[in-house]
Amino acid sequence: MPKTWKDTSVGFEATSHLSPSRPSSHKIGFRLAFDRATDLKLQLNPTSIDSYFLRGGVENNLVKTDLSTPDRDSNPDIPVSVIGSPGCLCEWKGSVYKLIWRDLLAYLCLYFAISLAYRFALADDQKRTFEKIRLYASQQSESIPMSFVLGFYVSLIVKRWWEQYRLLPWPDSLALFVSAAIPGSEERGRLMRRNIVRYAMLSYVITLQKVSFRVKKRFPTWQHVVDAGLMLESEKKIFDMMDEKSDMSKYWMPLIWATNIINRARKENLIASDHLVQTMLMELSDIRRRLGSLIGYDTVCVPLVYTQVVTLSVYMYFLSALMGRQFVEDEHSTTDYPDMYFPLFTVLQFFFYIGWLKVAEVLINPFGEDDDDIELNWLIDRHIKN
C-alpha cells in the first residue's frame, strides 16, 4: 500500500510507494530522493511554502547576504577603469609586488651575504677559486630554457582558469525562460517560477561548496543553506538521508526537482507548449553540464610532476645565479663592466620569472582565497538579489 507522509512545517504532502516491510533507513533515504524526482505526487500548499520561503529568505537569513553590493558583473575590489591603466602599477592588493616581495628580500639577503663573504672573508687564492665557480655557474645557468618551460606551464594554467570562470552558470537566462513560459500572476504559477529558479541556485551553491573554500566557510552545513532561504526543511532531511548513503556531491538533485515542477506545470496547462518545456529543460541541462564540469576540474588537477618540474627549474636557475651573477675583482677580465654592488638585471629577471611562477600558483585554484580569485560569494549575492 502507498504510504502517505506529511510535513506541515513546509506544506508538503506526498504519497510514496515505499513498502512498509523495508525499514532500512538507507533505502528509505534513497527512495525518498528518487521518488521526489519521479514518483512522488506533490501537492503544494502555497500559503505555507511561501511563508516559509519568506521567513528563510535573504531578508532574514542567518548567513548574511550583502544585498548592498554594487550590481556589476566584475570583480568589485578593483575598478575596471584602473585595470590596464598606469594606475594599476600602484595597486598593492592582488599585485605581483605582494606575491614576490618576501622571496625577493630573502634572495637579496643571500646574494649580499655571498658578496660580502667574497670581498671580506676570503683569501686571494680562495677568491680565485670562487671566480672560477662563478664563471662556470654563469655559463651553465643559461642552458636552462626558462621562457620555454614557464611559458607552456602558465599558458595551461591561465587556460584552465578562464575556462572554469566561463563554466560558472548564470541563472538570468533560466529566469527569463521561466518567466516567459509560466506567465501570469496566479499564486501557483508564481511559486512554480520561484522554486524552479531557487532549485537552480541551490544546485549552484551545492557545487560551489565542493570547489570553493570560501563558499564552504559561508555554508558549512545544510542548515546554513536552509537559513539562507535556498533549501526547505523537508529537502534538508532528504539530503541528510542521502549523505548517510554516499558522500558524493548531490548537486543534480535540485535540478531534477526543477524538471519535475516543469513537467507538472505542463500537465496543468500552465505552460502553453512542449517547445517551451524543451527550452527550459535544455537550459537546466546546460546548467547541470557546467556544474559537472566544474567538479571535474576540481577533481582532475594539473599533474603534480609538471608543477614540480617548472618550480624546480625556476628555483635552480636562481640558485645558480646567486654565484653566477656576482661581481668579482678580476684583474684579467677583458670586459669593462663596473663593479656594481646591486644586481639590477638579476633582480629584474627574478621579478619576471618568479612573478610568472607566482601568477600560475595563484590561478591554479581560481576559487581559493587569494586576492585575484573569483569572488564566488559576491556572485551568489548578485544572483540572489537579481
Domain boundaries, the chain: 3-74+170-299, 94-165+303-363
Q: Extract the runs of DSSP E, i.e. beta strands, from 249-362.
A: none
Residue 295 cell numbers, joined: 567538479
CB atoms within 10 A of CB 251: 22
Contact between residue 118 and residue 124 where contact means Cβ atoms under 8 Å apart:
no
**pLDDT beyond 50 at 287:** yes
Backbone angles phi, psi at 15, to 5 degrees: -110, 120
Contact between residue 266 and residue 277 where contact means Cβ atoms under 8 Å apart:
yes
CB atoms within 10 A of CB 298: 16
- DSSP class of residue 70? -
CB-based contacts of 65, cutoff 8 Å, min separation 6: 58, 228, 380, 381, 384, 385
**pLDDT tens profile 208-264:** 999 999 999 999 999 999 999 999 999 999 999 999 988 888 999 999 999 999 999
Contact between residue 255 and residue 284 where contact means Cβ atoms under 8 Å apart:
yes
State which amino acid sits at residue 38.
T
Residue 348 cell numbers, joined: 629584474
**pLDDT tens profile 101-160:** 899 999 999 999 999 998 888 888 898 998 899 988 888 887 888 888 899 999 999 999
**pLDDT beyond 70 at 286:** yes
Mean pLDDT for the stretch of residues 163-172: 95
Reported as a pLDDT band with limits 50, 70 and 90, residue 338 is low
Q: Is the pTM of this model over 0.85?
A: no
